[in-house]
Amino acid sequence: MNDYDAAPRDAGPRAHERNPARRVRPWPWLRYFALLLTLIPGLAPAAAPLSLTAVHEGPIGASVSYYQETGDRLVLQQAVAALAADSFRPAAAPILNYGIGARPVWLHFRVVNDTGEPLRRQLSVETTWLDRVEFYVRQDGRTLAMDQAGDSLPFAHRSVDSRHFVFQHSFVPGRSEVFIRVQTPDPMLIPLYLHAPEQARSHATLQQYSYGVLYGFLLALLIYNLMLYAGLGVPRYGLYSLYLGAFLLMNIAYTGHGFRWLWPDSPGWAQWSNPVLMVLYGVAGLAFALSFLETRCNFPRVHRAVLAYIGAGVGLLGLAALFSSQYFALLVAFSFVTLFTLIMLSLGLLAVRGGMRAARYFLLAAVAAMAGAATTALAVWGYIPTSVWTYRAVDIGMLLDATLLALALTYQFRVGQSERLLAEQLARQDPLTGMKNRRAFTDEARPVWNIAHRQGHPLAVVLLDIDCFKRINDSYGHAYGDKVLITVAEVIIDTIRQQDVAARWGGEEFILLLPETGLEEAAALAERLRQAIEAVRLRWGDDIITVTASFGVAERDVEHPNLDSLISVADKYLYQAKHDGRNRIRYRPVASVA
């Protein structure tokens, strides 16, 4: 007896023996008759030997027969005896799937080398989480080669440097038998391939390119959003990066990249990494969803329920770790991730119904992620047929999910920026006249003043005040007074130049800053404005109302050290125009126009 005969670890409860796939028959009675034949020992049809000179593109499960252990561990000679007793059943499905916690299974198939020389071929089981995989090659009643691998052994124990479980052998001419024993508490998914060396390299290269695209795309999104989080300090960008990072860790764990690159000497962590990182992925996704959808404010009861779900999932996983039950941890992880996708979909629907515009992208992302994750989970559990597409569905769904969530974040950022710009604009705008308010005037006028002061260019200020405005309000009402203010503002906007800065200064006062304008030019502009305002005719019933305004003009000179002092001088001349009878312009003590 050799080291392959050692008793295995407990593989969990016995799974039901079943054929992973059923063929569709044209008549029901033929289908039932064929099924009956397969259940009678000795009558199950044996699969034809696989030719080693043929090219086998896909998995070879349909050419395999299987036998599940029912009690103590079988050694190779016992498996050979079970085959001789016709206890093996045809698998029929291309990819074999026995579910979580299945009893160890023996696989058997025959190959034929019809050439005159040995042919080197590669057998690979392309599931990375199986605890123990043993390969045996027999011919003429003798065992010619054997090998073993699995994530319960250090990575260096593998005879071939591959993330999959690979066995290479030179098959001698004639017929050979291959036995494979698989044991694991994880989902017993067995995609078995038989390749020539060149074909194996091409097959591996295609997979490497596909994972390179996946990891590169997601890593770029992760780094970009992490930089946004560092620059803007917005939590949802950091949580989105955490979500992408959790998926990447989960993916490199269950695809075997992690065991090959990151923890090759930690088979214990390799066995526990899948359930732990699956739960971490779900927790990170829900944390991002709660932040993005602002559930604490918008849906407080739902927010608390999701937090309770997160706590329950983490607690159950901790309980599984406490009792060292990998089987229970896997049940928790797969259940948690399956419900996670449903919760994400429900949160998206709730937010869309609540009127959140960015939630439309979130909902589409949740649908893509749910479809991908659920398809892969159901395939791994054995409830739907397993293929390359169903196994990689979670990757495709995650690509769509990550892209749509990135669009959702971009849309949310754009909406937030537009709202901030609008709020800033409203804060700088007089709501009645639409002109700049005092704050906006000060912000825009100071750079103009600084340039004129530094370069010695002319600059003038005009202050104007509507005459007898209080009497207009008292006589005709505030609504009519507002109409007067709007009319005067329109006259000012239509008269000034594009480079001039105009604003409502307060009450019935308006201010103009005129760059590259001397005193005489500013007075001329003020006069045009005075005449334009005086020419306005407003109706009040059958009455025609005339509006006038008084103006004060001042020019920058050495006596004005800053803009405030220049405005004070213009205000003094405005007061003088009021004192002198209104509807006139004043600038310099001795000058007067109109």
**Residue closest to 48 by CA, chosen among 65, 67, 37, 63:** 63
Q: Report the run of H or E that residue 381 belongs to, with start and end.
A: helix 359-381
Helix axis angle for 393-427 and 267-292, nearest 10°, is 30
Helices (H) and strands (E) in the chain, counts: 17, 20
Token reading at 251: 């993916």
> From the candidates 69, 177, 508, 555, which is the catalytic residue?
508
Give the three-class secondary structure for 591: coil
DSSP classification of residue 294: T
Count CB neighbours of 355 within 10 A. 8
Residue identified by tokens 């047929």 is: 385
- Contacts with 39 (C-beta within 8 Å, 6 or more apart), sequence order: none
- In the chain, the N- to C-terminal Cα span, in Å, equals 122
586: left (phi over 0), alpha (psi -120 to 50) or beta: beta
Count CB neighbours of 383 within 10 A. 10
In angstroms, how far apart are the furthest CA atoms of the chain?
128
Token reading at 234: 């917005």
Residue identified by tokens 């295995």 is: 8
Helix axis angle for 197-232 and 393-427, nearest 10°, is 20
| Pair 493, 430: CB distance under 8 Å | no
Helix axis angle for 563-579 and 438-455, nearest 10°, is 110
Q: What is the DSSP string of 375-434?
A: HHHHHHHTSS---HHHHSHHHHHHHHHHHHHHHHHHHHHHHHHHHHHHHHHHHTB-TTT-
For residue 464, the cross-strand partners are 510, 551
Token reading at 541: 């019933």
**Residue closest to 391 by CA, chosen among 377, 403, 405:** 377
Token reading at 240: 């989105």
**Residue closest to 393 by CA, chosen among 410, 413, 370:** 370
Beta strand 549-555 pairing with 189-190: unpaired
Dihedral (C-alpha) 383, 387, 388, 392: value to the nearest 10 degrees? -10
481 vs 469, 471, 491, 576, CA distance in Å? 7, 9, 16, 24
Residue 538: half-sphere exposure toward Cβ, Cα within 13 Å: 18
Catalytic residue at 490? Answer: no
- Contacts with 209 (C-beta within 8 Å, 6 or more apart), sequence order: none
Q: Which active-site residues does the annotation give?
A: 508
